[in-house]
Amino acid sequence: MTAANVAEEEGAQPIADAIKRQGLNITELHIDRAYVTSPVVDEVMTSGGTIYAKPWPHPNRPGLYPKDDFKLDLRRGTITCPAGQVEYFEPGKTVNFDPESCGGCRLRSQCTQAASGRGRSVQIADDEARQQKFRRLQRTTKGRQSLRQRTAVEHSLAHIASRKGSTARYVGARKNLFDLHRAAAIQNLEGLQRQRAA
């Protein structure tokens, strides 16, 4: 439970700390993509854990080559366009392909709508390597099955949200965190009861 003006990813650390206090270790994270920049993700990956999250979507334009059609070499820091033009990149920066090469390219009409004298540009994310890994996971049957496990989490969150309502009941994060723990405890007890009944 965080204040409304706090970045969503900052909510991950208190949860991870609470798990550690119980003597448990996180080996898998099934998270919303808003949390992928949290330090908790780095900690889990460093300890050999696995992260399951959907990648951020590319801002593609219909009829033009999407970013996925560009070959990224993360070790060398190069990006190659569908026509074979190579540029170097830095994470978090935009790659601008050479305007002269793009101007006479036979694939230009399928690649960019940039004005004359400008080439194709491609945005490289700060965590591009991680995003590429998420994309590869999403392309496999096993990866998609793993991502679907998050559906059960979303159902639990929806039940808690319906119990608590759409707005905070109290003033201050501490009281609302206590209220969230109360709702989660009831949710867990109901789940255990259903298991026993089955």
Looking at the structure, tell me whether residues 153 and 119 fall in a common domain.
no
pTM for the model? 0.74
Predicted local distance difference test score (pLDDT) of residue 147: 87
What's the whole-number mean pLDDT along residues 152-160? 87
Nearest 10 degrees: Cα torsion 154, 159, 163, 168 = 0
Look at residue 60 and tell me if it is in a domain.
no
Question: What's the pLDDT score for residue 77?
Answer: 96
Span 179-197, average pLDDT: 92
Burial of 72 (0-12, 13-18, 19+ CB in 10 A): buried
The alpha helices in 7-149, defined as continuous H runs, are 12-21, 39-46, 99-103, 108-111, 128-139, 141-148
Report if residue 167 sits inside a domain: yes
Q: Are 80 and 86 in contact (CB under 8 A)?
A: yes
Helices then strands, counting H and E runs in the chain, come out as 8, 7
Q: In terms of domains, do 16 and 109 share one?
A: no
Q: Could you list the residue range(s) of the whole structural domain that residue 32 is in? A: 1-54+138-146
